[in-house]
């Protein structure tokens, strides 16, 4: 649900915050006070398009923030989520979910699962033909969900096989070209006879050859110093300690240490001398190393960033060559499996169609009952199900489902999304939402002037239907109808004031007495004694 709505610098709205509640939240107020701007702000927070002109005159940006509570959500441990959208007049904008920057599409996708805004020109899920099958299946519930899940597992494998067959070189020339290329690459890598540590060893050898003169000079200096100075000095020290080792054990211990040092330095001197003798500069070997490194570099450019990656690629193309050379047998196995999968899918698709047709009539009856209550006695709603056995499988089987409606006796049933009358759309949508309230998973429903084109008994019915929906969803409704306002659990009054030549929108949460006065104002225009009495009657009957 929405806990808090904060709007800043949108139209005549300077800076307002609305604390909303569970149940039925009703917003009423003066014409031009900013009620539509509140819906525009909610649309912005849901990722809708905008014009820079929406920013309040004299300001450089506008901001909409929603404080949400969603008990089960991966974006928050405690369920509290803050969604915000900021728009600047210089064209810059930002969208955030819990402080994390997201794209407009990410914001739209996230909010589409939370808020459903219904106005005269809305774009909600129930007006999307592709969603009608989901509404029907959610209405049916467990009767269809298990069948659908089993079908979806088959459908997933069906798509995998088709994709693999499509990618399995269906064209013989293309297959041969691919095979020739892979064999050429395989031969080139095989011929190279690469060793995984080879490049590192060659680079080390190359480095030594490039620094051979420096190495020889330094090793010679070390060799001379050890031979002429250090070893002779240690040897003389050993002979001196040998003369007094019997006097005290401490001298004997030091003598042993010094002897070990003498032997280590002698061995080190021999090693240095040997290493120095091995230093040489072989121009032919250097050229050989350079050629080999260039060859490896060329292979890396073609097949991987390292010898390890080249060898991995070698194994991959070996597998692919084997697959191509045995492709006919492999494809035949896939085709056999595909045939079996399609037979199983067809059975499941038939079953899904059977369940949907059986339950669609029940949904038809329920929605038509609601339409009758909403003073659309001549309207007739139908769930249109077109089933055709072909290979056009979808994730929903072979059913093409669309909500159809005729609003007058003798009219042809048309697609719901083509209905033109705003008042009719409002009531049709409300009828559908009333029936589907238990299955509609979007937690927040917002109705923007759903009372357009209706009055009297129809308006009273609309208010009653919204009240039913609000038992399962948080509802926010902007209305001009007293019968609808009387049904509210929480009522808010939107007004405007002028200060220092500027217009400001204000919003106030009404007390019970103030709600009665507002119902009286809406119903008669003046707050008279009789209007108040009538308002109390409407409120008590709600």
**CATH number, position 36:** 3.40.50.300
Among the residue ranges 55-64, 213-222, 335-344, 440-449, the one predicted with the least confidence is 213-222
pLDDT of residue 76: 66
Query: For all residues of the chain together, what is the average pLDDT?
Result: 86
CA–centroid distance for 263 within its chain: 70
Report how far residue 185's alpha carbon sits from residue 314's, in angstroms, rounded to the nearest whole number.
Answer: 8
Residue 396 lies in a domain: no
Report how far residue 9's alpha carbon sits from residue 62's, in angstroms, rounded to the nearest whole number.
Answer: 5
Tell me: pLDDT of 397 over 60: yes
The closest of 183, 178, 187, 177 to 299, measured between CA atoms, is 187
- The secondary structure of residue 30, as a DSSP letter, is -
Q: Based on the domain organization, do 479 and 516 belong to the same domain?
A: no
Residue 78 has phi, psi (to 5 degrees) of: -95, 0
Burial 247-258 (b: 16+ CB within 10 A, else e): eeeeeeeebeeb
Q: Based on the domain organization, do 321 and 217 belong to the same domain?
A: yes
Q: In what order do the strands lie in the sheet with 100-102?
A: 13-19, 2-10, 61-69, 80-88, 93-97, 100-102
Query: Of 273, 291, 325, which residue sits at a domain end?
Result: 325
CA–centroid distance for 57 within its chain: 35
Q: Based on the domain organization, do 185 and 231 belong to the same domain?
A: yes
Query: Of 269, 304, 325, which residue sits at a domain end?
Result: 325
Q: Based on the domain organization, do 310 and 265 belong to the same domain?
A: yes
* 483 burial via Cβ count (<10 Å: 0-12, 13-18, 19+): buried
41-67 average pLDDT score: 90
User: What percentage of the chain exceeds 70 in pLDDT?
Assistant: 94
Please count the other Cβ atoms lying within 10 Å of the Cβ belonging to residue 215.
17
pLDDT of residue 119: 64
Q: Which residue has the higher pLDDT, 252 or 515?
A: 515
Cβ neighbors of 128 (< 8 A, separation 6 or more) are 417
Report how far residue 252's alpha carbon sits from residue 116's, in angstroms, rounded to the nearest whole number.
Answer: 94
Q: Which residue has the higher pLDDT, 241 or 424?
A: 241
Tell me: pLDDT of 244 over 60: yes
Residue 154 lies in a domain: no
Residue 104 lies in a domain: yes
Query: Of 325, 355, 385, which residue sits at a domain end?
Result: 325
Tell me: pLDDT of 187 over 60: yes
Report how far residue 65's alpha carbon sits from residue 44's, in angstroms, rounded to the nearest whole number.
Answer: 10
Q: Based on the domain organization, do 504 and 519 belong to the same domain?
A: no
pLDDT of residue 13: 92
pLDDT of residue 286: 79
Please count the residues of the chain. 542
What domain count does the chain have?
Answer: 3
Tell me: pLDDT of 422 over 70: no
Residue 452 lies in a domain: yes
463-484 average pLDDT score: 90
Tell me: pLDDT of 363 over 90: yes
Q: Based on the domain organization, do 487 and 531 belong to the same domain?
A: no
pLDDT of residue 4: 95
352-364 average pLDDT score: 95
Q: Based on the domain organization, do 460 and 498 belong to the same domain?
A: yes
Q: Based on the domain organization, do 246 and 281 belong to the same domain?
A: yes
- The secondary structure of residue 416, as a DSSP letter, is G
Tell me: pLDDT of 170 over 70: no
Q: Based on the domain organization, do 486 and 523 belong to the same domain?
A: no
Tell me: pLDDT of 8 over 50: yes
Report how far residue 420's alpha carbon sits from residue 438's, in angstroms, rounded to the nearest whole number.
Answer: 28
Highest mean pLDDT among 7-21, 194-208, 251-265, 267-281: 7-21
pLDDT of residue 123: 44
Q: Based on the domain organization, do 204 and 301 belong to the same domain?
A: yes
**Residue 65, H or E segment:** strand 61-69
428-451 average pLDDT score: 82
**β-pairing verdict for 24-29 and 61-69:** unpaired
Residue 3 lies in a domain: yes
Residue 153 lies in a domain: no
Q: Which residue has the higher pLDDT, 460 or 2?
A: 2
Residue 333 lies in a domain: no
Where in the sequence is the domain holding 70, given as residue range(s)?
1-114+446-508
Q: Based on the domain organization, do 220 and 305 belong to the same domain?
A: yes
Residue 304 lies in a domain: yes
User: What percentage of the chain exceeds 90 in pLDDT?
Assistant: 41
Q: Which residue has the higher pLDDT, 129 or 276?
A: 129
Q: Based on the domain organization, do 89 and 192 belong to the same domain?
A: no
pLDDT digits (tens, 9 = 90+) for 287-303: 888 889 999 999 999 99
pLDDT digits (tens, 9 = 90+) for 87-121: 998 888 899 999 999 999 999 999 988 998 876 55
Tell me: pLDDT of 474 over 50: yes
């Amino acid at each position: 649900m929405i806990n808090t709505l904060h709007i800043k610098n949108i139209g005549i709205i300077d800076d307002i915050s609305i604390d909303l509640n569970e149940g039925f939240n009703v917003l009423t107020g003066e014409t031009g006070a900013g009620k539509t701007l509140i819906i525009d702000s909610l649309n912005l927070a849901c990722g809708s398009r905008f014009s820079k002109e929406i920013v309040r005159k004299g300001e450089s940006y506008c901001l909409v923030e929603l404080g949400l509570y969603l008990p089960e959500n991966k974006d928050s441990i405690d369920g509290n989520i803050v969604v915000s959208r900021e728009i600047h007049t210089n064209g810059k904008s930002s969208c955030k979910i819990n402080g994390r920057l997201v794209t407009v599409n990410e914001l739209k996708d996230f909010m589409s699962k939370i808020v459903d805004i219904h106005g005269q020109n809305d774009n909600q899920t129930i007006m999307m033909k592709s969603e009608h099958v989901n509404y029907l299946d959610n209405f049916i519930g467990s009767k269809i969900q298990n069948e659908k899940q089993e079908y979806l597992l088959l459908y997933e494998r069906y798509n995998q096989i088709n994709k693999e067959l499509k990618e399995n070189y269906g064209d013989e020339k293309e297959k041969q070209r691919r095979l020739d290329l892979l064999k050429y690459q395989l031969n080139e890598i095989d011929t190279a006879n690469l060793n995984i540590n080879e490049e590192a060893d060659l680079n080390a050898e190359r480095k030594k050859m490039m620094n051979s003169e420096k190495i020889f000079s330094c090793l010679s200096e070390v060799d001379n110093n050890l031979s002429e100075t250090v070893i002779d000095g240690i040897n003389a020290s050993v002979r001196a300690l040998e003369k007094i080792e019997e006097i005290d054990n401490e001298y004997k211990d030091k003598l042993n240490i010094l002897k070990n040092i003498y032997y280590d330095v002698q061995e080190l001197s021999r090693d240095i001398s040997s290493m120095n003798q091995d230093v040489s500069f072989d121009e032919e070997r250097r050229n050989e190393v350079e050629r080999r490194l260039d060859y490896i570099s060329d292979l890396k450019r073609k097949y991987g960033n390292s010898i390890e990656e080249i060898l991995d690629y070698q194994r991959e193309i070996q597998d692919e060559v084997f697959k191509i050379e045995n492709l006919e047998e492999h494809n035949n196995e896939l085709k056999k499996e595909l045939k079996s999968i399609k037979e199983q899918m067809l059975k499941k698709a038939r079953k899904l169609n059977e369940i949907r047709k059986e339950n669609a009539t029940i949904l038809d009856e329920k929605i038509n009952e609601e339409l009758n209550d909403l003073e659309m006695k001549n309207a007739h709603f139908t769930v249109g199900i077109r089933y055709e056995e072909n290979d056009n499988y979808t994730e929903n089987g072979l059913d093409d489902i669309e909500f159809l409606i005729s609003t007058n006796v003798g009219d042809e049933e048309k697609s719901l999304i083509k209905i033109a009358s705003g008042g009719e759309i409002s009531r049709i949508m409300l009828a559908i939402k009333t029936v589907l309230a238990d299955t509609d998973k979007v937690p927040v429903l917002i109705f923007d002037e759903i009372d357009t084109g209706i009055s009297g008994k129809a308006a009273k019915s609309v208010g009653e239907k919204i009240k039913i929906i609000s038992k399962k969803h948080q509802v926010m409704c902007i209305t001009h109808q007293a019968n609808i306002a009387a049904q509210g659990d929480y009522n808010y009054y939107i007004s405007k004031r002028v200060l220092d030549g500027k217009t400001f929108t204000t919003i106030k949460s009404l007390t019970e007495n103030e709600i009665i006065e507002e119902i009286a104002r809406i119903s008669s225009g003046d707050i008279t004694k009789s209007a108040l009495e009538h308002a109390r009657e409407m409120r008590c009957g709600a």
